[in-house]
Copies of this chain bind each other. A is one copy, B any other.
């Protein structure tokens, strides 16, 4: 088993700074050539599973255009050029919810799209968060913050109220981490 080899790449649609669609010529593991394998370059984003000292999770209700509906997510946003992902996570948690934390744990970094890339999702667990200000979201979203005890969060997940893969992964990784390791 080995990596594919990229023999050539051509940008077929440039919507910088948001995304670039790139057509690649690939040599597969078995030597076959694929002339038109599409990859998508995008900025990374950070997503935060934030828990209060009372073990409530900081959820966000918002409209997301991917699923096209109002749904339950987690604080999240794009990582700026040169910004460490943890700094982006701290910044987005504060901007979107007004919460801060002194105790962070990295739960993993994952390509959003297994085949095409689409940037990475950096998932963090913020423990013992406290509200230190008011939200000041600066992007296109209207947001409603809701503190959710774990049973309520699981109920929303089971009911289909969580509509994006990044939020589902962040919640499930956070829940599994909490159940296995506890919050301390």
Nearest CB of chain B from residue A154's CB, rounded to whole Å: 7
Choose from B39, B65, B173, B176 the contact partner of A39 (Cβ within 8 Å): B65
When distances are taken between beta carbons in the complex, the residues of chain B under 8 Å from A169 are 165, 168-169, 172
A28 lies within 8 A of chain B by Cβ: yes
**Looking at chain A, what size class is its interface with the partner chain?**
35 or more
Q: Which of B4, B12, B67 contacts A114 (CB 8 A)?
A: B67
Residues of B contacting A12 in the complex (Cβ-Cβ under 8 angstroms): 13, 15
Interchain CB contact under 8 A, A111 and B70: no
A 162-181 binary contact with B (CB < 8 Å = 1; else 0) = 11111111001101100110
In the complex, chain A residues 85-127 whose Cβ is within 8 Å of any chain B Cβ: 108-118, 121, 123
Integer count of this chain's copies in the complex: 2
- Looking at the complex, which one of B1, B65, B168, B175 makes contact with A144 (CB distance below 8 Å)? B1
Interface mask (A11-26 → B, CB under 8 Å = 1, otherwise 0)? 0110100110101001
User: Can you list 19 A-B contacts (CB < 8 A)?
Assistant: A1-B63, A4-B63, A12-B15, A13-B21, A15-B21, A18-B38, A19-B38, A34-B140, A39-B66, A40-B40, A66-B113, A108-B162, A108-B168, A110-B167, A111-B164, A169-B169, A172-B172, A172-B173, A176-B179
